[in-house]
Amino acid sequence: MKHQTGRRIVATVVAGLAALLFVAPAPAQELTAEEIIERMEENQTHSTSIMEGRMIITDRFGERVSTYIAHTEGADRFLVEFTSRDEEGQRILRRDDNLYLYYPDAREVIRLQGSALRDSLLGSDISYEDMTGGRGIIDDYRATLIGEEEVNGRPTYKIRLEARGTNVAYPEQVYYVDREEFVVRKSEQFARGGRLLKETLILETTEQDGYIFPTHIEVIDVTRGSSGTEMIIDDVQIGVSLPANIFSLEELTW
């Protein structure tokens, strides 16, 4: 099955690139900010999945496309393998809150930490740090419902997220969560002090097996002055069996 989209891949990759159960909406006055976020997280978390997609990076040099296959388990484990010619065999593994890179030419595994997490993924508007967030937003942020707003013709809840500590990528975020489908339609990420750093817009979604999730995402890093990065999911399978030990470090170099 083919669909046009980058989770929290958000998966998250999409990660960051990822990258995000359909629940019938309740009246607005009955939902708190925390309940809206919890429903959103239920909707974007699958037991397992396999996704094939593209990352389209546009900058002053033009447009380039990187393709990938992503395997996910829950909200906190994923393996992204790039299949395009220039990046073929490069892999990103997230496991136990740690992020690892594998480069086939050097046959080297690198654990990303500290300032290296802020590096750009393949020159895109997505950083490795964007791929470290998972389910449990309310554990990391205080959520406040600050209004409602229409995004691309869809009514959304507008929720401000303020970091409880310093162990997150962004001190403040604003989520625009669809009132009916409980999927994020737009998000904004801010630095301490309120400076806008990044914008993410969900251009298309799809429904499969009761889940509604993004299949076409645009990310713009405002600080880079770039033309943006698109994450497109072309094929997705949910609730599938995955190879044994696929998320182990030992299997990362096969």
Domain that holds residue 78: 28-252
pLDDT for 5 equals 38
- Total domains present in the chain: 1
CA distance 14 to 231: 7
Residue 3 lies in a domain: no
Q: Look at residue 11 and tell me if it is in a domain.
A: no
The count of residues in the chain is 254
DSSP for 73-123, written as a single string: ETTTEEEEEE-SGGGTT-EEEEETTEEEEEETTTTEEEEE-GGGGGSBSTT
In a domain, 5, yes or no: no
Note whether residue 111 is domain-resident.
Answer: yes
Residue at 174 is within a domain? yes
How confident is the model at residue 135, as a pLDDT? 58
**pLDDT < 50 stretches in the chain:** 1-28
Q: What is the pLDDT of residue 136?
A: 80
CATH code for position 232: 2.50.20.10
pLDDT digits (tens, 9 = 90+) for 180-236: 999 999 999 999 989 999 999 999 999 888 888 899 999 999 988 777 899 999 999
* 12 in a structural domain: no
Contact of 117 with 108, CB cutoff 8 Å: no
Residue 22 lies in a domain: no
pLDDT reported for residue 29: 52
pTM here?
0.82
Residues 6 or more apart whose CB falls under 8 angstroms from that of 235 comprise 1, 2, 3, 51, 52, 53
Considering the domain boundaries, does residue 7 fall inside one? no
